[in-house]
Amino acid sequence: MSENEPIKRVSLVCSKGGLDEVYPSLIMANGARMEGIEASIFFTFFGLNAIVKKTHKNLKVATVGNAALNLAMPMLKMPITMPFPTLIGAIPGVSNFATWLMKNEMEKLDVPPVDEFLEMCDDAGVEIYACKMTVDMFKLTIDDFVPQVKGIMTVGEFYEKSAGAQIIFT
């Protein structure tokens, strides 16, 4: 692909299941569709949390070992340069507070919750798939997933489907 050639297809890989880790895949896939670009998301490992019926509405922000939480400090009226101490993240309720804070800020920006975003992506034509190896490892079946999941595929099938697409890991 030359540098001036427009992107026609993207395939996103979502391998992490935290609230702050799932939104980039949904936002980028939906944004691609709004630009007329074909898009698919391949959920693997803990990213499956975003598409499992029992977990997709309860994603959390991880506060332990999340070095990037300094970006959230301005929401608390603190400087972005102030690191978020991992020890504080281990206190019960801190992850729930961080999750509430992020959801609140996303709502102010009119960003829908994950379940609605999955519906929006599906309505826009984003194809959503689950990784077969991970599905097998976690003892899941197609019935465990939200209805927007088009199927379960192997990595090889994902690469075949993604031929000619830009593959993006979020």
Cβ(32)–Cβ(122) under 8 Å?
Answer: no
Same domain, 81 and 41: no
Residue 130 C-alpha from the chain's centroid: 13
Asked if residue 122 and residue 151 are part of one domain, the reply reads yes
Q: How many domains does the chain have?
A: 2
Looking at the fold, whether 53 and 66 belong to one and the same domain comes out as: no
CATH number at residue 144: 3.40.1260.10
More confident residue, 165 or 88: 165
What digits encode the pLDDT tens for the residues 92-149?
A: 888 898 889 889 989 999 999 999 999 999 999 999 999 999 999 999 999 999 999 9
Q: Does residue 102 sit in the same domain as residue 136?
A: no
Residues 90 and 132 in one domain: no
CA–CA gap between residue 34 and residue 70 (Å, rounded): 31
Q: Which structural domain, as residue segments, surrounds residue 101?
A: 61-112
Q: Which residue has the higher pLDDT, 85 or 168?
A: 168
Clarify whether residues 121 and 50 are in a common domain: yes
Judgement on whether residues 123 and 164 belong to the same structural domain of the protein:
yes
Task: Give the per-residue pLDDT at 72.
Answer: 72
The pTM of the whole model exceeds 0.85 = yes
Confidence check: pLDDT of 162 > 70: yes
Q: Is the pLDDT of residue 52 over 80?
A: yes
pLDDT at 153: 97
pLDDT for 68 equals: 73
Distance CA 70, CA 63 (A): 11
Q: Are residues 66 and 53 in the same domain?
A: no
User: What mean pLDDT, rounded, does the chain reach?
Assistant: 91
Looking at the structure, tell me whether residues 146 and 168 fall in a common domain: yes
Domain co-membership, 119 together with 165: yes
Query: Closest by alpha carbon to 52, among 164, 147, 154, 160?
Result: 147
